[in-house]
Each structure stands twice: as structure tokens, then as C-alpha cells.
Amino acid sequence: MISFLKNNFIASALLVMIFVSCKQSDPPALDPVSTPISPTYTSTINFSGITWNIKTGNNNKLGPGPNYFSNSSNNVFLDSLGYLHLKITNENGKWNCAEVISNNYYGYGTYVFTVASNVANIDKNVVVGLFTWDNTSFYSQANSEIDVEFSKWGSANDTLTLTYSAQPVSFSYPTIFYERTKHPIMNVSKLKTLSTHAFKWTDSLVTWASYAGPNYPGTTALATWQFDKSNPPRIKVEGGNQSAPVIIPAPGGDTHARINLWLLNGAPPSNNNEVELIVKEFRFIPL
């Protein structure tokens, strides 16, 4: 009985850590008493036939994390195959993270990301985000965020690194919306090489699917999950402001695809090693 209670306590603590940590990118400047540092996008990169803006805070910390984000070619570059590389680097004791934002606007459809690096043995303080975001839709759609993430969320003992979410899950709101996120049980060893991760986003249903290999849909399914309109509406609270209640967030007028590599709460990698993410391809399939 004691062992059962202990195991359930550990599992519950891990769930809280996961859900509290599922927080991406930059909230808009909502609070009139504070002026958050805004990112700039002075550099671009062409990946998968799309122009992506490279995020930087010009030596100021930004969300998520908060972290330093760099547009240096040490942090964001293409290799000879045209694959995108994002790196967390150590520059004289300062850890620089990386994020790219599609120049294209997207809406309902299928977002497909093929990852070419090992996201199974990720450091406990590292987060990979493959997601949508809209800086202008906070009030109406909670920033229009749908996520695929890889992280152990600070727990070295977490053996499942994949998380799917339909935001908001938990920001400044005191309640964690457990029904809006999934940490699926899966064969994590298949994430050590090429893997493909997608979500199909409609106004009534979001369906996530992950596959071994480079294809969508693939022949070896790793995980899947669905989130539909039978769930209750939830409010995003951030910066002293709150959104309208949302079930499935809708795309806004400024919704982009994003890819990032960052450090949980700004903490360095626990092994003090630099980190690299390689993405083979991104594609969008409209409805």
C-alpha cells in the first residue's frame, strides 16, 4: 500500500511538472504596468521552401524560459542536405537558444514536422517545440497554439519525452487543465533516428500522430491523440489579463508555424553540454 501511494505521488508530481511547463513563446505586451522585451527578426533562413524569421532578443531574455535567443549562424543554420539545425550554445557562460518562425501565415490544415535527431535521450532541462502561435489572438483564441513538444520537463527519470497539447494548459491560471494535454506511452527508442510528427487542426477536432521514419502518414505508428469539442472551454490568464474561453483555439490573422529549442526555466543543460536539433522537413497540408 505504501509503495502504491508513493508511486502515485511521484506520478502526480511529474504530471504537475509537465503541465505547468507546457508554455511556449512570447506573450503579447498585455500588462499596462510593464513593458516586456519584444523579440526582433532581422535575419531569415530558407528551409523546406519557406522563409523563416530567426528570433533574437538582442542579449535580452525572452519567453519561453525565459532564455537568450540568438540569430547567430552558430545557433541556426542549414547543412548541405538543406536540413535545419537549431543549437543551444554556451557563449562565455551565457546559454543561447534558437527559434524560427515561418514567414507564411497558416490556418486549419495538417502541420508535418520530420525530425532527424535523437529526441529520446533529451536532457531534462531541454525543450523542443513544434507548434503554432499567433501574437495577435490572445484575447479571442489564447494565441492559437497547438503543440508537439519533446522534453522531460525537469525530471531525469521521465522516460516519455513526447507531449501533445491544445493550449491553454497552464500559464498564470491556478488550475492545470489536464484534459488539454497528453504525454503518450510509446516506444521512445523509435525517436532516436528519423521520426515524423503531425497534427491535423480543424474547427471541431485536432488529431496528433507520430511515426517512425520520414513519411506522413507513416507505416510505423508511435503515438496518436485527439482533442474535440466535447471538452470544456478554458481561459488563458497571463500578464494580469485573460482570454475568452476557448475549447479548440482557432487560427488568427497572424498564425505562424514555429520551431524552437530552449531551456526549461532558463536552466542550463544538466550535463552542461551544448544541444542540437535537426529538422529534415516541414510541410503544411491545407484542408
| pLDDT tens per residue across span 53-100 | 999 998 999 999 999 999 999 999 999 999 999 999 999 999 999 999
Phi/psi region, residue 60 (left: phi>0; alpha: psi -120 to 50; beta: rest), is beta
Q: What is the dihedral of CA 185, 189, 194, 196, to 10 degrees?
A: 0
- pLDDT at residue 156 above 90? yes
Averaged pLDDT score across all residues of the chain: 89
Percent of the chain with pLDDT over 70: 86
Q: Tell me the residue type at 50.
A: I
Distance CA 106, CA 263 (A): 27
The yes or no reply on domain 2-286 and CATH 2.60.120.200 is: yes
Of 1, 80, 72, 68, residue with least CA distance to 39: 68
Phi/psi region, residue 140 (left: phi>0; alpha: psi -120 to 50; beta: rest), is alpha
Task: Identify the H or E element spanning 21.
Answer: helix 2-21
Distance CA 143, CA 124 (A): 27
Residue 130 near residue 197 (C-beta atoms within 8 A): yes
Domain residue ranges in the chain:
2-286
- pLDDT at residue 31 above 80? no
| pLDDT tens per residue across span 211-228 | 999 999 999 999 999 999
Task: Summarize the confidence of residues 178-190 as an average pLDDT.
Answer: 96
Q: Tell me the residue type at 260.
A: N
C-alpha cell at 270: 544538466
Residue 151 near residue 264 (C-beta atoms within 8 A): yes
Chain Cα centroid distance, residue 4: 33
Q: What are phi and psi of 184, to 5 degrees?
A: -70, 145
Residue 79 near residue 85 (C-beta atoms within 8 A): yes
Task: Summarize the confidence of residues 175-191 as an average pLDDT.
Answer: 95
The overall longest dimension of the chain from CA atoms, in Å, is 59
Task: Identify the H or E element spanning 20.
Answer: helix 2-21
Distance CA 6, CA 177 (A): 23
The DSSP code sequence of 178-223 is: GGGEE-----GGGGGS-EEEEEEE-SSEEEEEEEESS-SS-SEEEE
Per DSSP bridges, beta strands 162-166 and 181-182 are: antiparallel
